[in-house]
């Protein structure tokens, strides 16, 4: 069995905990190990916060006021995708391995989200669509509680 869901959310701070709670509830119901669920929920929180903060201009068209979160629990893996319709990353602005840009300084209050996602997930892919938004997708191999609903082992 597999589970997937997709949310179309307003770029508002209140949408971030909503997405996180839905993910945590889905994984708890399915029987995913709590440590894995926590890691993925923190990574999702960072990706959603980036979409809310950087995913568009509030004064423009309706589409740039929203973002999309999709989660797939299938077999041994969970994949999460967060897509916005904002300006995309500035050239050299992604901070993942192989994507240039140095990490944020220790005293900075922001700028660590993508690096944190990379640390919490097994694979991370950032797709930049300049002028049309950015897509951050990440996945993690799942561990299951004993007797879990979706346990594939």
pLDDT tens column, 73-124: 988 999 999 999 888 776 655 545 444 444 555 544 556 789 999 999 999 9
Contact call for residues 81 and 137 (beta carbons, < 8 A): yes
pLDDT at position 127, please?
92
- Which residue is associated with the tokens 């989660």? 71
Q: Which residues contact 85 (CB under 8 A, 6 or more apart)?
A: 55, 56, 63, 64, 66, 67, 132, 133
Average pLDDT value over all residues in the chain: 84
Sequential DSSP letters for 23-72: HHHHHHHHTB-HHHHHHHHHHHHHHHHHHHHHS--TTS-GGGGEEEEEEE
pTM of the model: 0.83
> What is the number of residues in the chain?
153
pLDDT at position 94, please?
52
Tell me the backbone φ, ψ of residue 127, rounded to 5 degrees: -110, 120
- Which residue is associated with the tokens 């190990």? 33
Write the CA distances from 150 to 22, 63, 69, integer angstroms. Answer: 17, 35, 22
Categorize the per-residue pLDDT at 128 as very low, low, confident or very high, splitting at 50, 70 and 90: confident
């Amino acid at each position: 069995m597999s589970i997937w869901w997709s949310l179309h959310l307003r770029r508002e701070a209140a949408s971030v905990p909503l997405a996180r709670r839905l993910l945590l509830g889905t994984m708890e119901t399915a029987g995913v190990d709590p440590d894995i669920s926590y890691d993925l929920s923190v990574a999702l929180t960072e990706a959603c916060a980036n979409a809310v903060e950087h995913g568009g201009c509030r004064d423009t068209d309706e589409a740039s006021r929203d973002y999309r979160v999709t989660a797939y629990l299938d077999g041994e893996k969970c994949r999460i995708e967060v897509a916005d319709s904002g300006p995309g990353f500035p050239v050299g602005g992604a901070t993942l391995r192989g994507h240039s840009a140095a990490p944020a300084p220790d005293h900075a209050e922001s700028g660590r989200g993508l690096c944190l996602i990379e640390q919490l997930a097994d694979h991370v892919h950032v797709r930049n669509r300049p002028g049309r938004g950015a897509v951050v997708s990440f996945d993690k191999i799942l561990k299951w509680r004993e007797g879990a609903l979706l346990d594939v082992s």
